[in-house]
Amino acid sequence: MSTLAITDLHVSVQTDQGTVQILNGVDLTIKKGEIHAIMGPNGSGKSTLAYAIAGHPKYQVDSGTITLDGENVLEMSVDERARAGLFLAMQYPVEIPGVTVTNFLRTAKTAIDGEAPPIRTWLKDIRTSMANLRMDKVFAERNVNEGFSGGEKKRHEILQLELLKPAFAVLDETDSGLDVDALKIVADGVNRAKETTGLGIVLITHYTRILRYIKPDFVHVFVAGRIAEQGGPELADRLEAEGYDRFLTPANVG
């Protein structure tokens, strides 16, 4: 069984005000086929965890380990991590002017698989996934994320998730800024990807709303850069009712 294991992870980031410690010892183990929801208030370090797994150069891992089936992820470059089977659906995907979605997807697929996808099945896969995500055909000829609405950007992230077929995906606030219809479409896409490939998912969210459509196996509450509490889906129900107030002592509000 494929496993993504994070042990005692400490991560800091350089800012104008100096080094800021963000993650203070995160332990998390995800097996293939599991869905882990990571919930927490703003500024608790959820997105930092996502970027640290993906290898964003801004985030400095000070100690701890991340392994994928025993392989040291921290020694891999960003693209090596992706080719090893990790995927990050970003909260704020960037624009790539002049690069069409079609060209981008083909280049990414070729990089991940180590060979160009067979053209006929590939085009069919794209069409099917785009139709499932209610994306218009003209979308494929637009430049990556250029002029996309918030909802289109998120759907484009999930389109990549479906086509690139990673072993593990981190979804960083994929639900933020989506109306309920778009949320359902995106959630369906995630569920479809899981049914097809049985990937493991880390679902980072501020709200419990998306958990109505994507059922987590585990829920972790993130506070001040570490996991403060974990449990099953029932923990999400409790957060829905109570909010994060009971985790927020005056010391870690901010």
Partner 1 sequence: MTVVSTPTTTPTIHEPVIPVQTRSERFASVNVEDFAPVTGREDPWRLTPLSRIEALANGEIIGDRYEVDSTPVDGISIGWIANDHELVGTAGTPEERASANAWGASDGALHVHVTGEDDKQATVSRAGFGSSPRGAHTVISAAPFSRGVVILENFGQAQLTENVEIIVGDGASLTVVSTQQWDDDAVHLASHFATVGRDAKLKHVVVSLGGSLVRLNPSVHLNTDGGDAELFGLYYADQGQHLEQRVFVNHDAAHTRSRVTYKGALQGDAARTVWVGDVLIRQSGTATDTYEENRNLILTPGARADSIPNLEIETGDIAGAGHASTSGRFDDEQLFYLQSRGINPDEARRLVVRGFLGEVVQQIGSPELEQRIHDAIEQELNQGVSA
User: Which residues are at the interface with partner 1 (CB under 8 A)?
Assistant: 54-57, 77-79, 81-83, 87-88, 90, 93-99, 103-104, 107-108, 111-112, 143, 160, 164
For residue 67, what are the β-bridge partners?
5, 72
The CB-of-119 to partner 1 minimum distance in angstroms stands at: 19
Q: Report the nearest approach of partner 1 to the CB of residue 157 (Å).
A: 10
Nearer to partner 1, 70 or 114 (CB): 114
Least distance in Å: CB of 79 to partner 1?
A: 4
For partner 1, which is the closer residue by CB, 99 or 123? 99
CA–CA separation, 44 and 204 (whole Å): 11
Shortest distance, position 7 Cβ to partner 1, whole Å: 22
Which residues lie across from 184 on neighbouring strands?
Answer: none
Cβ burial of 118 (10 Å; 0-12, 13-18, 19+) is exposed
The C-alpha atoms of residue 29 and residue 22 are separated, in whole angstroms, by 20
Nearer to partner 1, 159 or 221 (CB): 159
Q: Which residues lie across from 7 on neighbouring strands?
A: 65
- Separation between Cα atoms, residue 3 and residue 111, nearest integer Å: 23
Shortest reach from residue 115's CB to partner 1, in Å: 12
Length of the chain: 254
